[in-house]
């Protein structure tokens, strides 16, 4: 889907909130959810099970992410997660996709947010 944006290497998926919720509910979900919002945003609430890798320090934070597990990114509205996708690919990480519309879209469906 984003081949033009990410320069080949396979397509990534833009998940809608329901698709992401279903993926996260799967017992054997092999994906890791990564929140790229900044510290104050993270402290205000996040999707359960997410790990934090703020975009402003992404390369440093992402160094601790698994290299053998597909990653799904999200931010507040979906723009920063697209940047994180490019950076993650450049670092050799496996990118599955991102949450379209970000946490704002997730919250519209009244899906869980932990604080």
Domains of the chain (ranges; CATH) run 3-108 (3.40.250.10)
d(CA 52, CA 75): 10
Which residues partner with 35 through β-bridges?
A: 52, 74
Annotated catalytic residues are 75
- For position 99, what pLDDT does the model report? 98
- For position 11, what pLDDT does the model report? 77
**The pLDDT of residue 73 is above 60:** yes
- For position 39, what pLDDT does the model report? 98
- For position 27, what pLDDT does the model report? 67
**The pLDDT of residue 81 is above 70:** yes
Does pTM surpass 0.75? yes
């Amino acid at each position: 889907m984003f081949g033009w944006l990410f320069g080949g290497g396979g397509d990534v998926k833009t998940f809608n909130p329901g698709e992401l919720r279903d993926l996260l509910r799967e017992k054997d979900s092999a994906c890791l959810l990564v929140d790229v919002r900044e510290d104050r945003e993270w402290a205000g609430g996040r999707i359960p099970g997410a790990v934090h890798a703020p975009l402003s320090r992404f390369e440093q934070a992402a160094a601790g992410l698994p290299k053998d597990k597909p990653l799904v990114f999200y931010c507040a509205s979906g723009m920063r997660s697209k940047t994180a996708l490019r950076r993650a690919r450049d670092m050799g990480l496996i990118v599955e996709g991102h949450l379209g519309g970000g946490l704002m879209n997730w919250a519209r469906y009244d899906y869980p947010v932990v604080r």
